[in-house]
Amino acid sequence: MFLRKVRLFIAVILLVNMLNAQENTPPPPEFLQYTHSTWVDSIMKSLTPQERIGQLIWVSAYSNRGSEHRADILKTIEKWNIGGLVFFQGDPLTQVKLMNEYQNAAKVPLMGAIDAEWGLGMRLDNTISFPFQMALGAIEDNTLIYKMGKEVAQQIKRVGLHLNFAPVADVNNNPENPVINYRSFGEDKIKVAEKSIAYMQGMQDGGLITTAKHFPGHGDTSTDSHYDLPQIDHSLERLNNLELYPFKELINAGINGMMVAHLNIPALDPSGQPSTLSKAIITDLLKDQLGFKGLIVTDAMEMKGVTKGNLPGVVDKNAVLAGNDVLELVQDVEKAITEIKKAIDKGLISQKDIDTRVRKILAAKQWVKLNEYQDLPLTNLLEDIHHPQALLLERNLTEASLTVLKNEGDIIPLKRLDTLKIMSVSIGTDTKTTFQKTLDLYSEVAHFTLPTEASLEEVEAIQKVFPHYNLIIVGVHDDSPRPRNTIKFSEPVQSFIQALPFEKTLISYFKNPYSIDKLNNMENAMGLIASYQDSKSAQDLTAQLIFGGIGANGRLPVGIGKKFKAGDGLSIQGGIRFKYTLPEDAGMDSKTLIHGVDSLMNEAINAKATPGGQLLVAKNGKVVLHKAYGLKKYNDTTKVNTEDIYDLASVTKISSALPALMKLHDEGKFDLNNGIGDYLKYFKNSNKDNASFKEILAHQAGFNPYITYWKNTLRKNGSYKWSTIKKDSSAGFPIKITSKMWLHRKYQKKIFKAIKKSPLLEKKEYKYSGLLFMLLPTIIQEITDENFVDYVNQHFYDKLGACTLTYKPYEKFDKKRIVPTEHDFMFRHLPIHGSVHDEGAAMMGGVSANAGLFSNANDLAKLLQMYLNMGSYGGERFIAENTLKEFTKVQFPENNNHRGLGFDKPYLKYRGKNSNTAKDASSDSFGHTGFTGIMVWIDPKEELLYVFLSNRVLPTRENTTLYKLNTRTNIQQVLYDAIQ
């Protein structure tokens, strides 16, 4: 009698409170149309009363537990005709094999379910994990969450399953919640509802049964229902207005399933029964008052929140009596069926009521097409799951979640890299992190790590170096795969964080944002980014955000003590530097691109056209391929990596003096109509002084291609002339060629003299020549009154963050990072490794505009992207747009000269085979090649950038296989083929 009055009271209150909100009856779930279908009718006729009860029972299954577990599952299926399996840990291939076998053993097709709130990666190895719901709660664009739902549905179906126990619709308003927390969309009931609906609709549109959980709301608990029964003491009004809100909205939006939690909620049922066993909550509230007609599933019936004080079998019967359709993870199937049969016999529940629930389950099975069941194929399973669009979606979701909480002085994105001396500290790890590796892509950064249990001595060692840097980037990492609201750092580590020099510190927080409140002073940092979790994508993209490769629009889904409130977050504009991403993000097809490039590179390596190589491809400012191939040299095991540095040979021409000339042209200090003599008096009135720089840079001035300067150092017997080269350095011989070759200090004058006196060709027509580029460093020094190397470093390389783009790399980098070139047995008589391959540049002390620059693909690409951007990069303008357009256009087409000013251009009449570019390269494109096996090319029409680095001259320059295979141009064509 007492309970009846309570239920009546609940009904009256709820009706009053919900009249305005529920003017219309909620739409029934779509699957209910099959409740009395021909297939459902036929199945019902074939089932005994006991077998019908079996359909209500779903048990746990694993794909990593071996043959004994498999046999137990098969026995349960065959003996009890259970309705479904709930899969947990394992791998996708075994999962599909087992599900095929289990389905073939079942009298009625099994509903396959999984608890995959953030995708298959929550349960299965070698699958994709999407961001946790708290991170999704930060996303402003809910269409991304819808797309995630649709993708999750496709992946779950691909492994033979049909139902996902998601979304979590709990409003997490208790920061210390031990079981929901990061699994919730946040503390704002409206946003939780909106995002839950987006996720649900995506999954259901993808053909999946979904269940909102954990009804009637598990967000404000401090007890984990896996271990005990949580109690929620809120009033009925509070529950109706807050906890129940997302569930009501989901019902109105047409969700097809609901999972009931194990909770003690006196305001809804004063008996103390877990909500899973409460008729007042399930039948009176969920079914009658809220009008939910879909599939009602219990939370796991093995959890202590429901088993404590309840016997196996009896607890399952009580769950059925309360109104549940599905008993999830029943402990003892036989006891459950026995007790439910007893309840029918006693008239506690009718067979008709059982049959109604079975029909609902069968209707859901027909909706997911189990009436047309066929074994799933195993072929291409992993490829189907890890398809590029799914991988890109995971990155897009992570990117959209990043939340900037502090940005004093607009420190994010970083600007003026030439003024910054940066160190990074990754806290909670003892190895270099993905975060730090991505930081390296943008600028020179000194890295440190601080393990979770670091000692005071380790902490003090890092603190001692703080004064040497003016920017400290800190990554606070998690020691758990799931972001718990805990701090496990040692006392010295916590003290280290709380005593950081915040006035020059930028913090990236890869832990649960709630835990920021447990570390003092974090909010005082110049920059603070909430990244929500410690995934590789979160680390990678946070580093990109710091340097402006991407922007940020995330908003905090929960409050953090008194430091930050829900909804906080600053918008950051990105796109000022490279974004490192997947081909599909730039409108390119991964399969075409990767397979095409890989096969051509492997062909070249197998043909010994080059020992290895390094490639970078960017489109629309997005790096879509950045990869190393092969070895640094033949007969070795040292593989090339993307950090290795190559000799750029003639690509130096467009990468050193040329940007300097363009800048000086902008400043009115360099005139293309002038000649060499206008800047170098020594050349005044020489035969070279009649040619303009426009003619010379376009290789139209009639200059000879090259002079073999090194031959002038030799006597007839092959030994060096005493006035040119000595074995030891001295004041008279200070220019290092090798450790045993030192050039006379005035030999550069002989080089200039040789250039000055060299004859001209009979006609001014196109003839490639490098003579001017030997002079340009000196010309630029004359114009600027600055050291040439200092000038290009200061005005270009340092600002670009291109630390490996340098002359004489052996002075800055470990020789192991520098890829060797030719075995020079003509001039230097040793293998060339670390110094410039070109003999003329070597005799200029390693600094020339003809050759001498070294770089990895990534740093060189920054300069090239600046060209592609028509003079700007990193939020700074380097060269005027009109100037770049002038230098990159064909200058003398009437003479069949395809060249720009310094830049190579496509041949005027044909492309493709035997051409210098791919057939699809536009006429606007430009670039250059290098003798050591280099090619760079830029196509403004497609916003496409291509860097190919190799050392094809190892061991000898006579190896021209790379040219014969046309590898560089063939790869370039693949890029166009991959554009969708």
Same domain, 571 and 624: no
Tell me: do 414 and 505 sit in the same domain.
yes
Catalytic site residues?
Answer: 226, 299
Q: What is the pLDDT of residues 351-394, one digit of tens each?
A: 999 999 999 999 999 999 999 999 999 999 999 999 999 999 99
Q: What is the pLDDT of residue 964?
A: 96
Instruction: Please indicate, yes or no, if residue 386 is contained in any of the structural domains.
Output: no
Q: Please tell me the predicted confidence (pLDDT) of residue 23.
A: 52
CATH number at residue 465: 3.40.50.1700
pLDDT tens for 175-185 read 999 899 999 99
Strand partners, 726: 742
Name the average pLDDT for the chain: 95
Share of the chain above pLDDT 90, in %: 90
pLDDT in tens, 680-735: 999 999 999 889 999 999 999 999 998 888 888 888 888 888 889 999 999 999 99
- Verify that 30 and 175 share a domain, yes or no: yes
Q: Based on the domain organization, do 509 and 643 belong to the same domain?
A: no
Domain membership of residue 105 as a residue range:
2-370
**Assigned domain for 393 exists:** no
pLDDT band with cut points at 50, 70 and 90 for residue 273: very high
Tell me the two tokens of residue 126.
């070698």
Determine, yes or no, domain membership for 384: no
Confidence band, pLDDT 50/70/90 cuts, at residue 224: confident
Kind plus residue range of the DSSP H or E element containing 328: strand 327-328
Residue with tokens 């709930």: 86
Mean pLDDT of 314-320: 95
Average pLDDT estimate for 134-145:
98
Same domain for 655 and 546: no
- Do residues 350 and 406 share a domain? no
Sole residue written with tokens 């670091």: 454
Domain end position, chosen among 348, 370, 392:
370
Looking at the structure, tell me whether residues 786 and 891 fall in a common domain: yes
pLDDT value, residue 718: 80
798 and 665 co-located in one domain: yes
At 868 the pLDDT is 98
pLDDT for 435: 98
Q: Is residue 532 part of a domain?
A: yes
Does one domain contain both 548 and 687? no
Please compute the mean of the pLDDT values over residues 889-898 and round it to a whole number.
95
Distance CA 202, CA 198 (A): 6
Do the Cβ atoms of 602 and 928 come closer than 8 Å? no
Domain limit, last residue, from 370, 392, 422: 370
What is the CATH classification number for the domain harbouring 776?
Answer: 3.40.710.10
Is the pLDDT at 192 greater than 50? The verdict is: yes
- Tell me the average pLDDT across 184-201: 98
Write out pLDDT tens, residues 99-108: 999 999 999 9
User: How big is the CA angle at 429 (ends 423 and 432), to the nearest 5 degrees?
Assistant: 50
Q: Give the pLDDT of residue 18.
A: 47
Task: Report the distance separating Cα 772 and Cα 18, nearest Å.
Answer: 84
Task: Report whether 269 contacts 46 (CB < 8 A).
Answer: no
Euclidean distance between the first and final Cα of the chain, in Å?
A: 70
Same domain, 358 and 434: no
Rounded Cα distance between 156 and 134, Å, is 22
Are 593 and 617 in contact, with CB atoms under 8 Å apart? yes
Residues of the chain above pLDDT 70, percent:
98
User: Is residue 437, in this structure, part of any structural domain at all?
Assistant: yes
On whether residue 434 sits in a domain, the answer given is yes
Token readout for 308 is 């404590």
Q: What phi and psi values does residue 257 have, to the nearest 5 degrees? A: -155, 160
What average pLDDT does this structure show over 518-536?
Answer: 96
What is the three-state SS of 917-965?
CCCCCCCCCEEEEECCCEEEEEECCCCEEEEEEECCCCCCCCCCHHHHH
DSSP 519-533: STTGGGSSEEEE--S
CA angle 444, 450, 454 (to 5 degrees): 160
- Report how far residue 545's alpha carbon sits from residue 414's, in angstroms, rounded to the nearest whole number: 9
pLDDT of residue 302: 87
| Range in 164-168, 310-314, 918-922 the model is least confident about | 310-314
Q: Residue 531: is its pLDDT beyond 50?
A: yes
Total of domains in the chain? 3
The b/e string for 498-511 (b: 16+ C-beta within 10 A; e otherwise) is eebebeebbbbbbb
Question: Could you read off the pLDDT of 778-814 as tens digits, one per residue?
Answer: 999 999 999 999 999 999 999 999 999 999 999 999 9
Q: Check the CA dihedral 261-263-269-272 and report its sign.
A: positive
Residue 307: its pLDDT value, please?
79
Q: What is the pLDDT of residue 20?
A: 46
Tell me which of 13-22, 207-216, 277-286, 762-771 is least confident.
13-22
> Which pLDDT score, from 0 to 100, does residue 911 have?
78
pLDDT at 643 over 90: yes
pLDDT in tens, 401-411: 999 999 999 99
Q: Which residues contact 87 (CB under 8 A, 6 or more apart)?
A: 60, 61, 62, 63, 95, 99, 112, 113, 114, 123, 161
Q: Does residue 535 sit in the same domain as residue 461?
A: yes
Residue 683 lies inside a defined structural domain of this protein? yes
Give the model confidence (pLDDT) of 11-59 as tens digits. Answer: 545 544 444 444 568 999 999 999 999 999 999 999 999 999 999 999 9
Q: Is the pLDDT of residue 6 over 80?
A: no
Task: Fill in the amino acid letter for 693.
Answer: F
CATH number at residue 16: 3.20.20.300
Res 742 pLDDT > 70: yes
Residue 60 lies in a domain: yes
pLDDT of residue 4: 56
Does 610 lie in the same domain as 488?
Answer: no
Please identify, among 370, 388, 410, the residue that sits at the C-terminal boundary of a domain: 370
